[in-house]
Amino acid sequence: MERNVALIALFAALIAALGLVPKLTLAFGVPITAQSLGVMLCGTVLGAKRGGLAVLLFVGLVALGLPLLAGGRGGLGVFASPTAGFVIGFPIAAFVTGWIVEQWRSVSIGLAAGFASIIGGIAVLYVFGVFGLMVTLNKTAMEAAILVIAFVPGDVIKAVLAGIITAALARARPASVLSRA
Partner 1 sequence: MISLTSPVETRAHRWPAGAKLAALCAATMLLFASNDLRFHFAAFACCLLLYALPGRLFFRTGLRRLAVLWPFFVLILVWHVATGDVQAGVVITLRMVTAVGLANLVTMTTRLSDMIGVVRWLTAPLRRIGINTQGIELGIALVVRFTPVLAQKGQLLAMAWRARALKRVGWQIVTPFATLAIDDAERVAEALRARGGL
Report the interface residues with partner 1, using CB under 8 A: 1-14, 16-18, 20-22, 24-27, 29, 32, 34, 37, 41, 45, 57-58, 60-61, 64-68, 71, 73-82, 135-138, 147, 161, 165, 168-169, 172-173, 176
Concatenated DSSP letters for 84-104?
Answer: HHHHHHHHHHHHHHHHHHHH-
Residue 106 or 160 with smaller CB distance to partner 1: 160
Concatenated DSSP letters for 94-148?
Answer: HHHHHHHHHH--SS-HHHHHHHHIIIIIIIIHHHHHHHHHHHHHT--HHHHHHHH
**Minimum distance from CB of 96 to partner 1 (Å)?**
20
**Minimum distance from CB of 60 to partner 1 (Å)?**
8
Residue 106 or 142 with smaller CB distance to partner 1: 142
Residue 142 or 172 with smaller CB distance to partner 1: 172
**Minimum distance from CB of 162 to partner 1 (Å)?**
9
**Minimum distance from CB of 123 to partner 1 (Å)?**
22
Neighbours of 43 (CB within 10 A): 35
Give the closest residue to 84 by CA, choosing from 72, 95, 73, 71. Answer: 73
CA dist., res. 76 & res. 63, Å (int): 5
CA dist., res. 46 & res. 55, Å (int): 11
Element (H, E) at 31: strand 31-32
**Minimum distance from CB of 127 to partner 1 (Å)?**
20
Give the closest residue to 179 by CA, choosing from 104, 90, 79. Answer: 104
Residue 13 or 119 with smaller CB distance to partner 1: 13
Residue 12 or 112 with smaller CB distance to partner 1: 12
